[in-house]
Amino acid sequence: MKTLKIFLLLTAIFICPNFALAKNADELFNELRQKILQVKDYVAEVNLKIDVAYMKVPLLKGKLYFKAPDLMKLERNGGISILPKKNINLTLSNLIPTGKVTVIDMGTTLYKAKSLRLIKVVPDDEKSSIVLTKIWIDEQNLLVIHAETTTYEEGSLIMDLEYNHFVNYSLPDKVKIFMDLKDYKLPQGLTMDYNDGNKKQENIKKTLKQKGTIEINYKNYVINKGISTNFFKG
């Protein structure tokens, strides 16, 4: 009898807290959204690496300014900045649908050898550009580790996120974005290209690779200090 009591006590200690911590999908999503939305604006030093078949862009270093919900500007000390022009841009706050949503619990799953909670989020608003977002969540730290978003008009967008210094704000140190891209072509009679003999090879590369990858490394975040909306104009 004593043994049974000890067994029940141990069960209560080790199992019950897990039940208590396991939130339902709606709660989890709402908590996650609240955590992400606490960042109203930020400035961070970034290294931006663009890997798109038809673009040859060197590593861009600069300051990335963000203001919720969707204002973003990369400033490069007088240089040209390039950012993807998607309705869903490079931030999580844009990736996670706002307003009323339906959250579907997909249970726990292994992602990169890590046990994560997978939820599917479908916006109830028919006007939303997002069809569906699948989010892989580190439940313990309340962080999005991986997200896949399908849109009506702009294909799909996949994000891989790595955190280190700003876990409390859900701000990543490194983001890798995989996105669908349209083709780019200008008439050769207009550009009068110099043929360097690599045309055939490039065309093969292009047909094989229709997705683009953008990698951003963030450091030195300055969070919620206030940025004027006018700053993002022009």
Partner 1 sequence: MIKPLSLELYKIFKRPRTYISFGLVTAIALVIQLAMCSGGKEFLSFGMQGITEQFAIQGNVLNGYLVAYIILQSLLIHIPLLIALVAGDSIAGEANMGTLRLVLTKPISRSRLVIIKFTASIIYSLLLIIWLAVVALFLSLFLFGKGDMINMKSDTFILLLQDDIMWRYFCAFAFASLAMTTIVSLSLLLSAFAENSIGPIMATMAIVVVLTILSNLELPLFNLIKPYLFTTHMIGWKGFFDDPVPYKAIRNSALVLSFYTLGLLLMTIIYFNKKDIKS
Work out how close the CB of 165 gets to partner 1 at its nearest, in angstroms, rounded to a whole number.
27
Q: Among residue numbers 13 through 32, which ones bind partner 1 (CB under 8 A)?
A: none
H or E element at residue 29 = helix 25-37
Query: Could you tell me which of 232, 219, 225 has the C-alpha nearest to residue 46?
Result: 219
Residue 88, number of CB atoms within 10 A of its CB: 24
In the list 2, 5, 56, 225, the residue contacting partner 1 (rule: CB under 8 A) is 56
For residue 84, state whether it binds partner 1 (rule: CB under 8 A).
yes
Contact 111, 88 (CB under 8 A): no
Work out how close the CB of 72 gets to partner 1 at its nearest, in angstroms, rounded to a whole number.
8
Identify which of residues 23 and 63 has a Cβ nearer to partner 1 in the complex: 63
Distance of alpha carbon 166 from alpha carbon 13, whole angstroms: 32
Q: Among residue numbers 176 through 205, which ones bind partner 1 (CB under 8 A)?
A: 181-198, 202-203
Question: CA separation (Å) from 42 to 52, 59, 67, 89, 161?
Answer: 27, 21, 7, 15, 17
For residue 51, state whether it binds partner 1 (rule: CB under 8 A).
no
In the list 26, 31, 45, 54, the residue contacting partner 1 (rule: CB under 8 A) is 54
Distance of alpha carbon 39 from alpha carbon 69, whole angstroms: 10
Q: Is the dihedral of CA 126, 129, 130, 131 positive or negative?
A: positive
Which among 70-78, 92-100, 168-176, 220-228 is the span making contact with partner 1, rule CB under 8 A? Answer: 70-78
For residue 156, state whether it binds partner 1 (rule: CB under 8 A).
no
How many residues lie near partner 1 (CB under 8 A)?
38
Work out how close the CB of 73 gets to partner 1 at its nearest, in angstroms, rounded to a whole number.
7
Work out how close the CB of 10 gets to partner 1 at its nearest, in angstroms, rounded to a whole number.
58
Q: Work out the burial of residue 32: count CB atoms within 10 Å of its CB; fewer than 13 is exposed, 13-18 middle, 19 or more buried.
A: buried
Residues that bind partner 1 (CB under 8 A): 54-58, 73-74, 76, 78-86, 181-198, 202-203, 206
